[in-house]
Amino acid sequence: MPTIMTPAELDAREDLADWRYVLGRLEATFRCPTFGAAGRLALAIAEAADAADHHPDLDVRYPGVLRVTLTTHAAGAETTDLDVAMAATITDLAASAAATSEPSAAQGYEVGIDALDVEAVVPFWEAVLGYGRLGRADGPINLVDPARVGPAVWFQQMDAPRPQRNRLHLDVTVSPEIAEQRVAAAIAAGGRLVSDEHARSWWVLADAEENEVCVCTWLDR
């Protein structure tokens, strides 16, 4: 079984100079001479990952930036010794490709939602975002994007209500053919329709504690 590693253990390793621990994952950013070079480095990493049967997420951006993130799917998305081994392989491949490491570029973000009754609002956000629960029993509930693209959402237990109008909401933009399904699923999961005045451009929904979200499409803009 993979060995789970703590952030302190990862930070202490001298062989992870290109990597940083951010929001439960190892992350590295490499700047390549050209966009094509970044694509070729991504291909080399993909081939090494297939050989090791351990796969990172790769994101190639213009003009030649490759972002790599590592977790161990078989260990519930924890960071393990398997990630350390793959990180070392990727560092070697990047050096051979004349890629420059940018460790300080590591960054993650997530959305926090305060709630008095967390279990009452989680199903709504799970449905409206199309996310799934991250199976960790020792902390707050986290919802994660199955495609590992969007930010995670976590829920913080409140001790007392905050009666002011919420000052922040999410916009979730989806393809038009699933918009009404997403709205219906969110309402069935405990939410309510605040307004469909601007549908099909957007529907305004709220969870059981009046935190708002808009389900949006490009239609009728």
Distance of CA 44 to the CA centre of its chain: 24
| Same domain membership, residue 122 and residue 101 | no
Residue-wise pLDDT tens for the chain (221 aa)? Answer: 899 999 999 989 999 999 999 988 999 999 999 999 999 999 999 999 999 999 999 999 999 999 999 999 888 788 999 999 999 999 999 999 999 999 999 988 889 898 999 999 999 999 999 999 886 656 677 899 998 899 999 998 888 887 777 777 899 999 999 999 999 999 999 999 999 999 999 999 999 999 999 999 999 98
Distances (CA, A) of 7 to 71, 80, 87, 140, 148: 13, 10, 15, 18, 21
- Cα angle 10, 12, 16; round to 5: 60
Give the β-pairing of 132-133 and 142-144. antiparallel
| Same domain membership, residue 37 and residue 115 | no
- The number of folded domains in the chain is 2
Give the model's pLDDT for residue 109. 86
| Same domain membership, residue 92 and residue 18 | yes
Residue at 166 is within a domain: yes
Residue positions counted in the chain: 221
- How far is the C-alpha of 203 from the C-alpha of 80, rounded, in Å? 42
Strand, helix or coil for residue 158: coil
The domain spanning residue 49 has which CATH number?
Answer: 3.30.1360.20
- Half-sphere CA count of 69, side-chain side, radius 13 A: 18
| Same domain membership, residue 97 and residue 141 | no
Phi, psi of 214 (to 5 degrees): -110, 130
| Same domain membership, residue 138 and residue 59 | no
Q: Tell me the β-bridge partners of 29.
A: 67
| Same domain membership, residue 168 and residue 99 | no
| Same domain membership, residue 115 and residue 93 | no
| Same domain membership, residue 29 and residue 100 | yes
| Same domain membership, residue 47 and residue 116 | no
The domain spanning residue 165 has which CATH number?
Answer: 3.10.180.10
Residue at 212 is within a domain: yes
Residue at 1 is within a domain: no
Q: What is the largest CA-CA distance in the chain?
A: 58
Residue at 154 is within a domain: yes
Last residue of a domain, one of 75, 105, 135: 105
- Residues of the domain holding 24: 7-105
| Same domain membership, residue 101 and residue 153 | no
Last residue of a domain, one of 105, 120, 143: 105
Give the model's pLDDT for residue 221. 81
| Same domain membership, residue 116 and residue 62 | no
Last residue of a domain, one of 53, 83, 105: 105
The pTM of this model reads 0.83
